Structures are given as structure tokens and as C-alpha cells.
A and B are shown apart, each in its own frame.
Chain A
Amino acid sequence: MSLLLASVGFGLITSAVLAIAAVAFTLQFAVTDVLNLAFAAVMTAGAFIAYLVNQSGYPVWAGLVAAMAACSLLSVLLNYFVYAPFQRRGSAPITLVIVSLGMALIVEFGTAAIVGGISVSYSMSQGSTVGLGGLVFTTVQLVIMAVSVLVMGFVHVLLRYTRLGKAMRATAANRMLARSCGIRASRVIATTWALTGALCGLAGTVFAIDVGSFDPSSTDIFLILILAAVFLGGPGNAYGAMLGALVIGLATEVSAAYIQPDYKYVVAFVLLLAMLAVRPAGLLGART
């Protein structure tokens, strides 16, 4: 198998994990107006919830469901007790970003304080390897990619065909007009936090499965990849985030094969800064 093919394989898995996180992050931003830098910390918290469930003798997939529930709840609480009060007071966007950084510290190191700073892994089998058109994946990797594709399909159906999804898009586009249609925007926003929080927990767990062993600060760098994917596609644009995740995932892994693995994130970094400088609205334009 060629180096290129192998790196494309890795890239697709990274993209799959990244896409779940980036879509959730960007929807959060679009509907709620919070650029939530605590997102990656909540992901890790979810990964550790799954770990606790896994350690109690249940399969990691049960842990994944628990992580989704826990992160969903945590995100709703974050909004209810922290972000929403600041927004009601009319705080500037930059203040909310600083607040979200503070929450990132609280969640990340709160997790570290509870579980300790050690690296852990799920006890699970990677399954047999499967060859697919020159690419080789383990069963678990295939499951991750399938989950990601399912999530993308779910988000697409949600946004295009359901009453809730359309209300989310309407709220993102024009909150006051949405309210004038009788949409209770605060409920749509709370639901968005619940939903994107669940996706955040899902992303955290599949991230942990993918990297093998993880600790409370494992997602620090992953946050940068999420931001790169989100800004590349256009902040607030769900389809842009999917595209951005694909580009960033492939770019980092393929460049890792040809330059040096240590510098693979530099590509994401350059793409993000170039995008901010040249076209802040992203490839597909801002907002869904």
C-alpha cells in the first residue's frame, strides 16, 4: 500500500471525527451566537464519562451513549447558568469568548481533578482489518466513519426537513423575525445546546477511540482543528464545517506522510490564518 493511500486512509478517519465536532460547534455558534471555546473540554469530559461506563464492564458503545447524554446536559447547563445570562446583559462577543475560555479551563481541569491527569484507554477490540479499494481500515475505524456519515445525514435531514431544524436555521438567520413567527427562540436555543452537546459527547468518545489513549488535555490541539474546519468552511455554516473537516483532516494526515508527522497541524494552522486574512466568511459563506 502506498504512502499516499495510507495517509488518505488516516485522513478520512480524522475527517470523520472532526466533522462531527465541527458541525456541532458551528451549529452552536450559528444558532446561539456563542463561539464556545469550551467545546473541546466538554468533549473530553464526555470521553471520560464513556471511560467510566466502559470500566464498569459495559461496552464502549454504551459509554458513548452515556457520554452523549452527559455532554448534552452539561451544554444545556453551561448555556443556562453562564452564557445566556451574559447575553441577556448585552455583553460584547469578545467578552463571551473570554468567558468561554474560562469555562474551558473549569471543565478541562475539573475533569482532570476528578480523574487524575493520567492517560487511559477504553478496553475494546479494534476488530479485524478490512481492505477497501486499496485502503485498509479496522472494523472500529469503519464504524467511526459510518457513524460520522450517519451524523452528517442526520444533521442534513434535521436542518432541511424537520420543524425543529428549520426553526434553528430561522433563529440563526434572524432571531427577532423568528420570534415574530411565534417561535420561542429561547427554547430553540436550549434545544440546540442539548443537541450539539450530544454530538459533542459523541465526538469526544469517537475521538478517544480513534487516538487510542487519552488524557484530560488531549483535545487542546483538536480544538484548533475544529476551529480551522469551522472557519475554513464559513463560521455558522454546517455544510461548510463538513467540507472544512474533510479538507483539514486530509491535509493534516497527507502532509504528515510527506513532511514530518510533528508538523502536520501546521497545515491546518496556515489554512485557518489564510482564510481569516483573505476571506473571513469562509469557503461557503457564513451562517447556514
Chain B
Amino acid sequence: MYYLIILLVYAAVDAMACLGLSQQFGVAGVTNFGFIIFQAAGAYVAAVLALPPDTANGGFQSYLGGFGLAFPLPWLGAAVAGGLLALPFTFLVGRRLRGDFAAVGLLVTAVLMNLLVMNYRPLFNGEAGVALVPAPLRQGMFVATSDRYQYGFAIGGIALTGVVFWFVRRITESPYGRTLRAMRDNDKVADSLGKNLVALRTGALVTGGAIAGLSGALLVSVIGVWSPAAWSYAETIVLFTAVIIGGAGNHIGAVLGAVLVPVGFEEVTRFITNNNPDLPPNLLPSLQWVAIGLLIVVFLWVRPRGILPERRRMASPRPAGLGAGGAASAGPAGGTRAVRADQAGAADAPILRTSRVHRDFGGVHAVDRVSLSIGRGTLTGLIGPNGAGKSTLLSLLAGTEKVSGGQIEYEGRDITSLPAYRRARLGLVRTFQLASEFKRLTVMENLLSAVPGHRGDSFLGAVAGRRYWRADERQATVRAYELLDSFGLAEHADDYAGDLSGGQRRLVEIMRALMAGPDMLLLDEPLAGVHPALARRIGAALRQLCQEGMTILMVEHELALMDEFCDPVIVMADGAVLAQGTMASLRERREVVEAYLVG
């Protein structure tokens, strides 16, 4: 009977941990090979918060603190500790480091933290670990050994897991969760849409860490001891196995994985050895680990998305009552921002100006001291032979790449050193030349992910719940349907963007950039692979947007479109600006013809 209860508590602990891990790995795309140290931190902190000072027990164990706090303070402390422990690791999962290298860094950290705690006895009693951790609420009303207490504990643990489940679901199903999944699919693009990657990844590490810490508190409260042997790095692999098998990013899958792998497989089989005295004592545990390894490899091969793959989020139906246009264009999902009062007087001033902007790649001047200014409300074309530096210039303007020298001014403000996401938030938004849709988000989600200032697109907004952000979502959805209608993709709203044709994906990208409500749009060959007739319609639509106040700078190699829609057109060659004017006038200029024909 006792065994069954322990099993239930283990199930709660593992399910909780898997939910935290799935949130990091499956939803936010952060591979945290050091996950177990967050659970360990929670367990230790819960233990020392609940234990009396170590001098009280005759010195048989030594540990830091010993506060003798009453439940639920130790558990809260554990969650806080797990969350805080995540902060120092922000630098590993920031924007610079490859995901697999960061994962290795976290794995190394986990191994060495274990080593450190094992060898430094004053901290948490070294290798022996802390023992005699008081179970919560066992005095007074409850007697720890009574059946009622045990059952109550198990039910309480399961209820707590339910709360965690509800919590991660609330986050994941919010616009903030959508942003996390967008970052997972393509972090560079999320950055260019104004998402702060460092903050988002830190948020995922802290949330997962707090959940792991809480699971540690639950575990240490039931088993009463906690030592380095309980949290070897291999335990992280077990949890990863569970999440991969259950289905990364699917919360029910995470719980299922927890029940199947750590509980069903590890704990249950742990007792088989006892009945087989003939076998060497080490054989079955070893084979168990071999099986875990096999499960990982086989599942990643046969069913990489797990038993319950992440489900597709269907778009809410067209909100009734709100007609096209009109009311929909106000608010965060509206088209262009209203011109701010302080800029109204400067309507004639260029919206963007560069002076001697420069970029070297290993000695090659990709962009060579370019000075130009873009007039407000223009649809400017940027053309030039391959290797002229057009895409690089666009990246420099958007902040995707850093300049080697020179200055960029936007709306009269020096933005040269601002990161991409800050520029996007100022209304300077870019698209990419290569496919950059969020593959495992639907077309509708791709569009909604770009909406700036959405009340639900922050951790707190997500926690506040649907009611808090429903109006914004509704407005954004109306706007998204408008765009889908005008781009002829309405029937694909619920398709995964990764399943569309090349041309359709280009359109999703343009629509997504428009959803960001830019003042200035930087388009990198937006119409490559789009049907000529449709390309012409989109060109007309872009020009319409410019007449309404938006500014567009567009790299495009289809010169016929330039003729029709762009004025002025800037010609680049060998990293420098060669000429500027209408397409017709450029065609007359010898140096332009030469750049194309002679080089």
C-alpha cells in the first residue's frame, strides 16, 4: 500500500518536472541538459528551509541554514530557488551561442554542480546528503505515518501537478506562448519582429526552473532525504526521454511520458531485482539504462514528434460584427502607426538616413560607405547585380547584422547600436530573402505572432488569462483575416506555414511583416516565386500602403515591377550606391547599364 502511494507521489513529481522540461524544450526550443540541477536546488532549499539548524541534531549532518519554517514556505522557497538559479545561465542561451553548444554547456554545469555539492560538505552535507527532512503538516492534525496522511499527501501532490499543468497550459495557449513557439521555429526572424530573445529564453528557463524546484520540494518532502546520487545528470536524460516519447510541446504528452518512462519503466522495474537473487545485482539497473538509451534513439527515428505530437491550434472563426476595415485598423493590430505629434512637423524629413555605413566580411567590402536617405511614404526599389551588397545593406538597416562603421538614423534618432528587436519595436520591420516562416505555426499564428503591443504577449499578460487579452486577440484576428482575404490565402489560415508552396510562404512573410504595423518596411526579394499576376497585385497593394503613409524599401530583381511601382530606384554595385532615380531614367544611364552588362 505504501508503495502505491509512493508511486503516486513519484508520478506527480515526474509529471511536474516533465511539464517544466516540455515547456523549455518543446515550446521554447531551449535544450536544457542541466534540468535536473533545478529540481535538486528546489529539493535542497525545501529541505534546509524545513529542517532545524544543523546544530540541533548533534552534528551528524551539516548544512547551510536550517530555518525550521512551516509548510508551505519551504515549497515556495524551492520554486523561487529553482527560478533564480536559472538567471546565471541566461548567457548560455542568449543570442550568440549555437543551441547544441549551449546544451553541452548546461550538461557540463550539471555534472560539475553535482561534483561540487558532493564534495563540499558544509553546503548540503556532501555525498551523504541531507536527511530527516520533516514532512509538511505532520504535526497536530496529521500523523505522518497514518494512511490518511499518506493518501492526503499523494492527492495533494497530484492536485499541485494539476495546478502546474493548468499554469503551463495558460502560458502556452496565450499569445506569449505563441511567441515562444515562434522563437523555437526561427529565432532570427522572431528577433526581427521585435521579440527579445534573451528575455524570452530567460523566461522559459526561469519558469521551467521554478516548476522543477517545486517538484524537488514535493519529492524531498515524501522521501525525507536528498543526496547527490539522486540527481546525477543521467536523471535529466530520463526526463528528456519521457518528454520525447510523450511528445515535446504537448502537455498531456509530457504527463503521459512521465507516467510511461520514469514511473512506469524506472520505478516499477526497480523492484524486479529483489525477486531474482540469481542475477548479478547490477545487471537489471544497467539494462534499464540501456533501454532508456534505446527508447530515445528509436523514438527519435520512428516517431520524432512523440506519441502525442504538439497539436495544431486552429484559428478562431472570423469574429462576427466587426466588418472589414474601419474599426479593425485601430489598436495594436492596425495598419501603420499614427504619425506621432512630434513628427508631424517633420513630415518632409526623410524617415531613414544612413551616413557612410560600412560592412566588411574578412577584407571584402560588402557594403562600402553607403550614404542615402529614404523619403517618408515612398516605395523605394533597391536593385543591382548579385553580390552588390543589397541584402547586406538591408540587414544592416534592420539590425540583423552589425555595421563595421557609419551611422543609421531612423525618425531622426540614431539607431546604429540598437539590436534588431528594438528597431522592430520602433516600427522598422524587415523580411528575409530565404524562407523564414515559423514552420510549425499555422498561417494564422504566423500572422498573429507579429502583432506588437499585444496585451497577451508577455509573461504577466499570459498569466492574467484570456479575458485580459481577448479583445486584442480579436482585433488582431480581424486584421489577419483582412490580409488573408486580400492575399487570397484565407482558406490556408489553419495550415502549417511549413506545408505551403514557396510562393505562398513569401506571401505569409509579407502579411506577417504588415501585421507588425511597421512605419517602414524592408522587403528582401518579397515576390520571388510569386505568380506574376499576383506579384503585380501585391505591388499595387504595397504602393497603396505607401500612399497611406507607410515607407517601403524593397530589394527586387524583377525590374518590370520596379518600373510599375517603385520610385525612386536605387542601384547598388560592388557595395556602393551607383545611381538613384526612376527606373526609366536609370535605364538611360550608361553606368547602370554597364554595371549590369559589364560589371
Direct chain A–B contact by Cβ atoms under 8 Å: yes
Chain A residues close to B by CB (< 8 Å) = 35, 37, 82, 85-86, 91, 93-99, 101-106, 108-110, 112-113, 116-118, 216, 220-221, 224, 227-228, 231, 235, 260, 262-263, 265-266, 269, 272-273, 276-277, 280
Q: In the bound complex, do residue A94 and residue B103 qualify as a contact, i.e. CB atoms below 8 Å apart?
A: yes
Q: In the bound complex, do residue B296 and residue A116 qualify as a contact, i.e. CB atoms below 8 Å apart?
A: no
Q: In the bound complex, do residue A99 and residue B297 qualify as a contact, i.e. CB atoms below 8 Å apart?
A: yes
**Which of B103, B108, B116, B120 is in CB contact (< 8 Å) with A224?**
B108
Q: How far is the CA of A231 from the CA of B101 in the complex (A)?
A: 9
Residues of B within 8 A of A216 (CB): 286
Q: A97-B103, A262-B119, A272-B108 are in contact. Are A106 and B297 (CB under 8 A)?
A: yes
Q: A94-B31, A98-B300, A280-B97 are in contact. Are A116 and B282 (CB under 8 A)?
A: yes
What would be 24 A-B contacts, judged by CB atoms less than 8 Å apart? A94-B103, A98-B31, A99-B297, A101-B33, A101-B293, A102-B237, A102-B241, A104-B293, A106-B290, A106-B297, A109-B286, A109-B290, A110-B286, A216-B286, A221-B111, A227-B104, A228-B108, A262-B120, A263-B119, A265-B115, A269-B109, A273-B105, A273-B108, A273-B109
A98 to chain B, nearest CB (A): 6
Q: In the bound complex, do residue A97 and residue B100 qualify as a contact, i.e. CB atoms below 8 Å apart?
A: yes
Q: A109-B289, A116-B282, A276-B92 are in contact. Are A102 and B297 (CB under 8 A)?
A: yes
Residues of B within 8 A of A113 (CB): 282-283, 286-287, 290
Q: How far is the CA of A218 from the CA of B286 in the complex (A)?
A: 15
Q: How far is the CA of A105 from the CA of B238 in the complex (A)?
A: 10
B102 in the interface (beta carbon within 8 A): yes
B98 in the interface (beta carbon within 8 A): yes
Q: In the bound complex, do residue B300 and residue A95 qualify as a contact, i.e. CB atoms below 8 Å apart?
A: yes
Q: In the bound complex, do residue A105 and residue B292 qualify as a contact, i.e. CB atoms below 8 Å apart?
A: yes
Chain B residues close to A by CB (< 8 Å) = 31, 33, 91-92, 96-105, 107-109, 111-112, 115-116, 119-120, 233-234, 237, 240-241, 244, 280-283, 286-290, 292-297, 300-301, 304
**Which of B111, B287, B293, B297 is in CB contact (< 8 Å) with A220?**
B111
Q: How far is the CA of A135 from the CA of B237 in the complex (A)?
A: 43
Q: How far is the CA of A227 from the CA of B96 in the complex (A)?
A: 19
Q: A86-B301, A224-B111, A263-B116 are in contact. Are A112 and B282 (CB under 8 A)?
A: yes
Residues of A within 8 A of B112 (CB): 224, 265-266, 269
Residues of B within 8 A of A96 (CB): 100
A96 — nearest CB in chain B belongs to which residue?
A: B100
Q: How far is the CA of A99 from the CA of B300 in the complex (A)?
A: 8
Q: How far is the CA of A98 from the CA of B233 in the complex (A)?
A: 13
Residues of B within 8 A of A273 (CB): 92, 105, 108-109
Beyond A37-B104, A102-B300, A221-B111, 20 additional pairs, beta carbon < 8 A: A85-B301, A94-B99, A99-B300, A101-B33, A101-B237, A103-B293, A103-B297, A105-B234, A105-B237, A105-B290, A109-B290, A116-B282, A117-B286, A220-B233, A231-B101, A260-B119, A269-B112, A276-B97, A276-B104, A280-B97
Q: In the bound complex, do residue A93 and residue B98 qualify as a contact, i.e. CB atoms below 8 Å apart?
A: yes
Residues of B within 8 A of A276 (CB): 92, 97, 101-102, 104-105
